[in-house]
Amino acid sequence: MLDVDHLVDIDTLSPEDLETVLDRAEAQKSGADDTQLPQTTMGMLFEKPSTRTRISFETGMTELGGHAIFLGPEDIQLGHGEPLKDTSRVLSRYVDVVMARLFDHADLLEIATYSDVPVVNGLTDEAHPCQTLADLLTIREAFDGFDDVQATWVGDGNNVGQSFVLGCALAGIDLTVCTPPEYGMSDAVLKRADELGHAPEVVEDPVEAVSDADVLYTDVWVSMGQEDRRAEKLAAFDGYQVNMDLLSETDAVVMHCLPAHRGEEITDDVLESDRVLVWDQAENRLHAQKGLLVELME
C-alpha cells in the first residue's frame, strides 16, 4: 500500500514506495503474487497515441481481473467540450482508476486534483513515470539490485529522461547525463534530484559520459509534437548517436524506451546486438504497471 493517491511523476513516490511497487511488480511477473483487482475498471485518456502504453495497461487490467476503457481524441475533447475538472469529477464516478496520456502536464495535474480515484500519468510532455518504473525494474533484474550501478543518459533531455533522472535519484543510482547544452534536463528536475540526495553528473562529451557506465540509455531526439523542429534537432545532436563506435568505449548494456528511430539516436546494429535490454524494458511496462495498480488500489 502506498502513501500517495496518484502517480503524477516518479518522485511522487518515496524511496520506500518505489521499492514496494518494484517488489510487487517482480512478484507479479514471477507468479509469486496472484493478487487480483476483480471488477475494476480503468478509464484511459489518450491525447497521444501509443502502442506500448495502451497494450500494457489493457493487458495488465485483464490479467488483474479488471477492464480498461480506451478514450481517444475522438472520444473525449479534454478541456474543450467541458472543463477538465468537470470531466475528472464525472469520470471518477464511473471508473476505479484513471490513466491519462496527455500533452500538457498541467492538464494531468488538474485531472488528479479533482479526481476521487487514483490517477496515473501515462505520459505528459514533462514526465513519463510508468516508463521509469519499467526501467528501474529492468535494471534491478539485470544487476540484482541498484548497488554500484552506474547509468548514463545520452541524447535529449526529454520527458523520459527527466523522469529517469528522478527515478535514479530515488533508487540511489549514480547517473551521468550527456546532452547538447541547449537540450539538457530542466533546472527544476535537476534541483529535485539534488533534493533527493542524488543529483546526476552533467557532461557534454558522450565518450567521457559512457566510460564507466553499466547502463547506457537513449531515446528519440524528435519527440511527438516536435516534427517542425526535426532539422534543427538532428543537427544539434550530431555526435550523440548510440552506435557501435560509442559502444566500443564501454561495457554498458543499452536501454531505449521505444519506439526507436533507427539510424538517428541509435543504430540498427546496436538494437539487434546482444548488448540491449530494450525488449526486457518493453515487457516490464506490463509488470511494473500491474505492481503500481495493485499497490495504488489495495
Which pLDDT score, from 0 to 100, does residue 169 have? Answer: 98
Is position 1 within any domain? no
Confirm whether 140 is a catalytic residue.
no
- pLDDT, one tens digit per residue, over 166-180 is 999 999 999 999 999
Which pLDDT score, from 0 to 100, does residue 63 have? Answer: 97
Is 223 annotated as ligand-binding? Answer: yes
Asked whether residue 135 falls in the same domain as residue 274, the answer is yes
Which pLDDT score, from 0 to 100, does residue 272 have? Answer: 98
| Short-list 150, 158, 174, CA closest to 256 | 158
Confirm whether 241 is a catalytic residue.
no
Cα–Cα distance list, 277 to 130, 135, 153, 207, 281 (Å): 17, 9, 14, 20, 6
Confidence of residue 228 (pLDDT cuts 50, 70, 90): confident
Q: Count CB-CB contacts under 10 A for residue 282.
A: 18
CATH number, domain with residue 97: 3.40.50.1370
Range of the domain at 171: 130-282
Instruction: Provide the whole-model pTM.
Output: 0.97
Is 178 annotated as ligand-binding? Answer: no
Q: Catalytic pick from 6, 24, 54, 101? A: 101
Which DSSP letter does residue 223 get? -
Confirm whether 230 is a catalytic residue.
no
Asked whether residue 98 falls in the same domain as residue 233, the answer is no
Asked whether residue 124 falls in the same domain as residue 135, the answer is no
Which pLDDT score, from 0 to 100, does residue 227 have? Answer: 78
- pLDDT, one tens digit per residue, over 82-112 is 899 999 999 999 999 999 999 999 999 999 9
- Please give the tally of structural domains in the chain: 2
Distance CA 7, CA 115 (A): 12
